[in-house]
Amino acid sequence: MDLLVVGGGPAGLATALHAARAGLDVSVWEQRAGIVDKACGEGLMPGAVAALSALGVHPPGYDLRGIRYVAGPRHVDADFGAGPGRGVRRTTLHALLREAVLAAGVRVDQRTARHVEQDQDGVVVDGTRAGHVVAADGLHSPIRSALGLNRPRRARPRHGLRRHYSLAPGATTWRCTGPARRRPM
């Protein structure tokens, strides 16, 4: 195998897709099953929309003109300068990327990478040899930690919360449509 991608989130799947289309023999190990959901603002910035489009991935959603920061009665707006972003359910994005990766011939295994070793011929992960490994295992990357590549962390941990609301455009009332999800940042 030329490339083992550890982590099947957006970064890992996009990397695998680029590598497969460049002719490499690629596998992805993702420890969670099926379509992975996470607490997320679910807004693709214009650059992400363009990068996905270049990969032939066109997730359906709603155009985002810019960002509004709100604090009580005050707000500040900033429109995007490079075309619209897109509001997309994270599960929709993950499903489309996963479909594209599988169609490109990448193997996606439900498996947790635990031990990484490097030698002159490449990398061995839990007994599996690959030319290269991409650690796309998220913000708190266990592989980065295991290899001693962590940078000093913020003293105070932060957490993000996500909840879905059903809201007509321009409306001021909404209805909660799902449970809250919490995620360390």
Ligand X SMILES: Cc1cc2nc3c(=O)[nH]c(=O)nc-3n(C[C@H](O)[C@H](O)[C@H](O)COP(=O)(O)OP(=O)(O)OC[C@H]3O[C@@H](n4cnc5c(N)ncnc54)[C@H](O)[C@@H]3O)c2cc1C
Question: Which spans of this chain sit near ligand X (rule: CB under 6 A)?
Answer: 6-12, 29-32, 36, 39-44, 48, 112-113, 136-139, 142, 160, 183, 185
Sign of the four-CA dihedral 148, 153, 157, 163: negative
Smallest gap, in angstroms, from Cβ of residue 86 to ligand X? Answer: 10
Query: What is the nearest approach in angstroms of ligand X to the Cβ of residue 98?
Result: 11
Q: Which residue's CB is nearer to ligand X, number 73 or number 127?
A: 127
**Cβ closest to ligand X, residue 64 vs residue 120:** 64
Task: Report which secondary-structure segment, H or E, holds 95.
Answer: helix 90-103
C-alpha distance from residue 110 to each of 6, 12, 33, 86, 159 (Å): 10, 14, 6, 29, 27
| Residues in Cβ contact with 83 at an 8 Å cutoff, skipping those fewer than 6 apart | 46, 49, 50
> What is the nearest approach in angstroms of ligand X to the Cβ of residue 100?
15
Nearest distance, CB of residue 14 and ligand X, angstroms:
8
Closest approach of ligand X to the CB of residue 99, in Å: 16
CA distances, 64 to each of 46, 53, 68, 78 (Å): 9, 16, 11, 11
Rounded distance between C-alpha atoms, residue 66 and residue 111, angstroms: 38
Taking the least distance from each CB to ligand X, the nearer of 180 and 185 is 185
